Chain A
Amino acid sequence: MDLGFDETEQMIRVSGAEFLAQEAGPALARSGDVEAFWRQVSELGWPGLAIPETHGGAGMGLAALGVLIEQWGAHLGQGPLFESSVLVAPLLEQAADERLAKEILPAIGDGSGSAAVAILEESAKWRSDDIHTAAVRTDTGWAITGEKRFVSYGESCANVLVAARTGDGADDISLFLVDRSSDGISSESLDHASGAPMSVLRFNETTVDEGRLVGEINSGCPLIESLMLRGAAFQSIQLAGLGRRVLEITTDYVKDRHQFGVPIGAFQAVQHHLADMAVSVRRVEHLARQAVWSVAEDSPEAEANVARAKMAASGLIPEVCWTAHQCHGAIGFTQEHDLHLYTRHALSWAAEFGDATVHSDRLASSLDLS
Chain B
Amino acid sequence: MQFQFTEEDEQFRGELRSFLAEQLPAEWTGPADEADDEDWALNQRIKKALADRGWLVMHWPKAYGGMDASPMRNIIFAEEMAYHRAPGNDRFGTRMIGPVLQHYGTGEQKSQYLSDIAMGSTQWCQGYSEPDAGSDLASLKTRAVLEGDRFIVNGAKIWTSLAHRADMIFMLVRTDPDAPKHRGISMLLVDMKSAGVQVRPIINMSGSHSFNQVIFDDVEVPAENLVGALNNGWRVGMSVLNYERSGIDYVAWGQRAWDELVEFCRTEKGVDGQSLASDQTVRRKLAELDAELEGARLLTYDVAWHQQQGEAPADVASMSKLAGTLANRNVLDYGLKLLGMYGVLEKGSPYAKLQGRFFKMRMFYTSGEILAGTTEIQKNLIAWRGLELPRV
* Chain A positions near chain B (C-beta within 8 angstroms): 1-6, 9, 63, 247, 251, 254-255, 262-263, 265-266, 268, 270-272, 274-276, 278-279, 282-284, 286-287, 289-290, 293-294, 299, 305, 307-308, 311-312, 357, 359-361, 363-364, 367, 369-370
Contact between A293 and B1, CB atoms less than 8 A apart: yes
Q: Using a CB-CB cutoff of 8 Å, which residues 370-392 of chain B contact chain A? A: 376, 378-380, 382-384, 386-392
State the Cβ distance, B357 to closest chain A Cβ, in Å.
20
Contact between A3 and B301, CB atoms less than 8 A apart: yes
List chain A residues, Cβ under 8 A from B285: 360
Contact between A360 and B284, CB atoms less than 8 A apart: yes
Contact for B1 among A5, A247, A254, CB less than 8 A: A5
A308 to B288, CA, bound (A): 8
Is B277 on the interface with A (CB-CB < 8 A)? yes
List chain B residues, Cβ under 8 A from A270: 389
Size of B's binding interface in residues, CB under 8 A? 53
Is B287 on the interface with A (CB-CB < 8 A)? yes
List chain A residues, Cβ under 8 A from B319: 278-279, 282-283
A10 to B277, CA, bound (A): 43
Is B333 on the interface with A (CB-CB < 8 A)? no
List chain A residues, Cβ under 8 A from B315: 278
A278 to B6, CA, bound (A): 29
Contact A271-B380, Cβ < 8 Å, known A255-B390, A308-B295, A312-B295: yes
* Chain B positions near chain A (C-beta within 8 angstroms): 1-6, 9, 72, 262, 265-266, 275, 277-278, 280, 283-288, 290-292, 294-296, 298-299, 301-302, 304-305, 309, 315-316, 319, 322-323, 376, 378-380, 382-384, 386-392
Contact A369-B379, Cβ < 8 Å, known A289-B1, A361-B283: no
List chain B residues, Cβ under 8 A from A360: 283-285, 287-288, 291
Interface hub of A4, A266, A282 (most chain B Cβ within 10 A): A282
A290 to B323, CA, bound (A): 18
Contact between A272 and B376, CB atoms less than 8 A apart: yes
Contact for A275 among B280, B302, B379, CB less than 8 A: B379
Interface hub of B2, B291, B388 (most chain A Cβ within 10 A): B291
Contact between B389 and A251, CB atoms less than 8 A apart: yes
List chain A residues, Cβ under 8 A from B3: 1, 289-290, 293-294, 305
In the assembled complex, 16 residue pairs joining A and B whose CB atoms fall closer than 8 Å, in A order, are A1-B4, A265-B387, A266-B389, A275-B383, A278-B315, A283-B299, A286-B295, A287-B295, A293-B1, A308-B290, A311-B287, A360-B283, A360-B288, A361-B280, A367-B262, A370-B278
State the Cβ distance, B177 to closest chain A Cβ, in Å.
29
Contact A9-B383, Cβ < 8 Å, known A255-B389, A363-B287, A367-B286: no
List chain A residues, Cβ under 8 A from B262: 367, 369
Contact between B277 and A370, CB atoms less than 8 A apart: yes
Chain B's interface: helix, strand, loop or mixed, by majority? Answer: helix
Contact between A370 and B275, CB atoms less than 8 A apart: yes
Contact A307-B1, Cβ < 8 Å, known A286-B298, A369-B283: no
Contact A357-B284, Cβ < 8 Å, known A271-B380, A274-B387, A290-B298: yes
Contact for B305 among A1, A294, A305, A369, CB less than 8 A: A1
List chain B residues, Cβ under 8 A from A284: 295
Contact between B290 and A363, CB atoms less than 8 A apart: yes
Contact A271-B286, Cβ < 8 Å, known A3-B305, A63-B1, A308-B291: no
Contact between A262 and B392, CB atoms less than 8 A apart: yes
Closest 7 CB pairs of A and B: A271-B383, A286-B298, A275-B379, A364-B283, A363-B287, A283-B295, A275-B382
Interface hub of B295, B315, B390 (most chain A Cβ within 10 A): B295
Contact between B291 and A311, CB atoms less than 8 A apart: yes
Contact between A1 and B290, CB atoms less than 8 A apart: no
A4 to B316, CA, bound (A): 14
Contact between B298 and A367, CB atoms less than 8 A apart: no
Contact between A364 and B2, CB atoms less than 8 A apart: no
Contact between B1 and A367, CB atoms less than 8 A apart: no
A360 to B292, CA, bound (A): 11
Interface hub of B1, B5, B275, B323 (most chain A Cβ within 10 A): B1
A308 to B280, CA, bound (A): 17
